[in-house]
Amino acid sequence: MPDISRVGVLGCGLMGSGIAQATATAGFPTVVRDVEAGLLARGEGTIVKSLDKLVEKSKLAPAARAGALERLTFTTDLARLHDCDLIVEAVTEDLAIKTELWRALDPRCPPETIFASNTSSLSIGVMAAATARPDRFIGLHFFNPVPLMPLVEVVRAVGTSPAVVERTMAFARRLGKEPITARDRSGFVVNRLLVPYLLDAMRALEQGVGSAADIDRGMQLGCGHPMGPLALADFVGLDTLARIAAIMYDEYGEPRFAPPPLLRRMVAAGLHGRKSGRGFYDYASDPPHPIDLGL
């Protein structure tokens, strides 16, 4: 098997842009593919902003910033990923969309290319079954903000070869990340614990246990969390979180994973969290202030 030297990233949203930034900064020529030029431009802007922030804080040398940007290629053409050794998919959390993409990519790539999904909650094994390379299909789950969060979950599906697990773990380390391994069960390790906690904070808000600001301050000051659960839900994206919760509820059938009515209504109203400017907080003001949700 060839060493991983060229990386492809599918999707240039919150996670895809962060993953591309991490791989390019670590020295890998990286081809980023999304469906529209506008989405690519937005993702590139996010990467530039993040790299600038790291340079400003002296966490990255200006030459390393320039090198990372030079290693990035943005395209809408799936065929441009044909010579990548590893392809990380970070498109919307929808099994049909992901599966269709893998099916389209499979014949375009050499058999030794590793396919990795950044899904938070969908089955790696089901996606792998849509390709002719289930032994070279793996989960590689990053955390937001990718440039700062050290963890990566490496998920072995039923058919993943142990050698591919080892190579993917080694790749994660080359990105400067700390990998842990997890089984192919919805949510893996972190979201299985995190998602019910975030949903419970919403239920506490709905039930009037405390205000959004007090629930968040409580967990920050009482437990030393960098963000409270409602601010973190906004940060992850309420639409994404609702989708993850629904998938986990479907897999486990346990009420703790069920998206609370408040979350569903906020998503329907276009309150998608920080990326849309409004969620539990309004991000137009600095500091953001809690939104009156009519509770």
CB of 201 to ligand CAA, least distance (A): 13
Our CB check for ligand CAA shows the closer of 85 and 239 to be: 239
> Binding to ligand CAA by residue 227, rule CB under 6 A?
yes
CB of 286 to ligand CAA, least distance (A): 11
Q: In what order do the strands lie in the sheet with 178-183?
A: 72-75, 30-33, 7-10, 86-89, 114-117, 137-142, 151-156, 178-183
Q: Distance between CA atoms of 209 and 236, rounded to whole angstroms?
A: 23
| Beta-bridge mates of residue 9 | 32, 88
Q: Is 191 a catalytic residue?
A: yes
CB of 194 to ligand CAA, least distance (A): 6
Tell me which stretch binds ligand CAA (CB under 6 A): 68-76, 137-145, 206-214, 280-288.
137-145
- Provide the 10 A C-beta neighbour count for residue 23: 28
Region at 152 (left for phi over 0; alpha for psi -120 to 50; beta for the rest): beta
Active-site residue (options: 121, 123, 186, 191)? 191
Provide the mask over 25-64, with x wherever binding to ligand CAA is found by CB under 6 A and - wherever it is not. Answer: -------------------------x--xx--x-------
Cis peptide preceding 150, ω within 30 of 0:
no
> Binding to ligand CAA by residue 277, rule CB under 6 A?
no
Q: Are 260 and 248 in contact (CB under 8 A)?
A: no
> Binding to ligand CAA by residue 81, rule CB under 6 A?
no
> Binding to ligand CAA by residue 120, rule CB under 6 A?
yes
Q: Distance between CA atoms of 111 and 108, rounded to whole angstroms?
A: 9
Region at 254 (left for phi over 0; alpha for psi -120 to 50; beta for the rest): beta
CB of 112 to ligand CAA, least distance (A): 28
Q: Distance between CA atoms of 174 and 157, rounded to whole angstroms?
A: 22
Q: What is the DSSP pairing of strand 281-282 with strand 289-290?
A: antiparallel
Task: Determine which residue in the list 130, 236, 238, 258 makes contact with ligand CAA, applying CB under 6 A.
Answer: 236
Strand (E) positions, 4-158? Answer: 7-10, 30-33, 72-75, 86-89, 114-117, 137-142, 151-156
Provide the mask over 139-168, with x wherever binding to ligand CAA is found by CB under 6 A and - wherever it is not. Answer: ----xxx-xxx-------------------
CB of 147 to ligand CAA, least distance (A): 4
CB of 58 to ligand CAA, least distance (A): 8
> Binding to ligand CAA by residue 226, rule CB under 6 A?
yes
Joined together, the tokens standing for residue 210 give 């405390």
Our CB check for ligand CAA shows the closer of 113 and 186 to be: 186
Our CB check for ligand CAA shows the closer of 29 and 145 to be: 145
Tell me which stretch binds ligand CAA (CB under 6 A): 35-43, 72-80, 105-113, 226-234.
226-234
Q: Distance between CA atoms of 205 and 51, rounded to whole angstroms?
A: 36
Residues contacting ligand CAA: total by CB under 6 A: 17
Which SS3 state, helix, strand or coil, does residue 258 take?
Answer: coil
Query: Residue numbers of the site for ligand CAA (CB under 6 A)?
Result: 50, 53-54, 57, 120, 143-145, 147-149, 191, 194, 226-227, 232, 236
Known catalytic residues are 120, 141, 153, 191
